[in-house]
Structure 1
Amino acid sequence: MARGAGGTDGGSGRFFIGLIMMIAGGYLFLDAVKVSYGFNFGMRLYSIGGFHLTSGMVLIPLMFGIGLIFYNAKNIIGWILTVATLIMLVFGIISSIHFRLRSMSAFELITILVLGIGGIGLFLSSLRPSRSKG
């Protein structure tokens, strides 16, 4: 006897329809999200007490670290300065990203929710064994 989705007796049709619905709902949702950022070299990245560390100030240890690495590649302080500064810059850039849902009609929102959540439900129900009579 042929097995369905996930090795169960559930329906393969439900599996693929649910998968397509999930993909479509996910695409429409991600298409509705607008991403903006506020990263610049005068932006306040970190605050230590009353002192504010800007993203431009973070580049100073990077310059020293790179200089130490070029002077002596085995200098551990240069490597620590460089890696720590790059990690601080990456976290600063990531923390300055803002996600916003664009304005949309109620129909668009309901369509996204029905496709996404309905697709998940249909997909998961296809993985259950069917209760066939006989």
Structure 2
Amino acid sequence: MSIQGAGGTEGGIGRFFLGLIMLIGGGYLFLSSVNVTNSFGMGYRLFSVGGMGITSGFVLIPFIFGTGMVFFNSKNYIGWFLMISSIVMLAFGVITSLHFSMRSMSLFELLIILILGVGGLGLFLSSLRSFSK
């Protein structure tokens, strides 16, 4: 009877946990070094329809009418459509207005992030294969 390792194979359980810890550490360091900014505001152009820009404030107008229609008659499908489509367009506008950039870091920090992430992934995946004895 053989002891099963990571993934039900005879791979090393130590390699599995070491790779997992390295992968999580590298992922954390990578994600903590990314700056996220946005340019979302009431005057920001979300969409363009027929050459006319629709700002994020304009998206709220159908939402207001839809909300009033739903409160007047909760079975009004047009009101529900206006509310839901406005929320979807607003969420889409917020997500598309995000900008990602890396913070300034030294080469040493970047190498540590890459070694932890890629090396951890390699150890993690190698622990899932069987080792012949």
TM over 0.5: yes
Alignment of 1:17-36 (within 5 A): 17-36=18-37
Identity value in percent: 59
Q: Which residue of 2 aligns with 1:2?
A: 3
Unaligned runs of 5+ in 2: none
User: Which residue matches 1:39?
Assistant: 40
TM-score by length of 1: 0.96
**How many aligned residue pairs are there?**
132
**Alpha-carbon distance, 1:131 to partner:** 2.1
Q: Structure 1 unaligned segments of length 5 or more: list them.
A: none
1:71-130 CA-to-partner distances (Å, cap 9, x unmatched) read 111111111111111110000011111111111000000000000000000011011100
Partner of 1:81 in structure 2?
Answer: 82
The question of 1:49 aligning with 2:59 is answered: no
RMSD of aligned alpha carbons? 0.7
Residues 30-78 of structure 1 deviation map (CA, whole Å, 9 limit, x = unaligned): 0101111111011000011210000001111111101111111111111
Helix, strand or coil for the counterpart of 1:129? coil
Query: Deviation at 1:2?
Result: 1.0
- Structure 1 runs of 4+ with >4 Å offset: none
- Give the aligned partner of residue 65 of structure 1: 66
Which residue identity is paired with 2:27?
G
2:30 and 2:66 mapped to 1: Cα distance? 43
Rounded to whole Å, the distance in 1 between the matches of 2:107 and 2:50 is 46
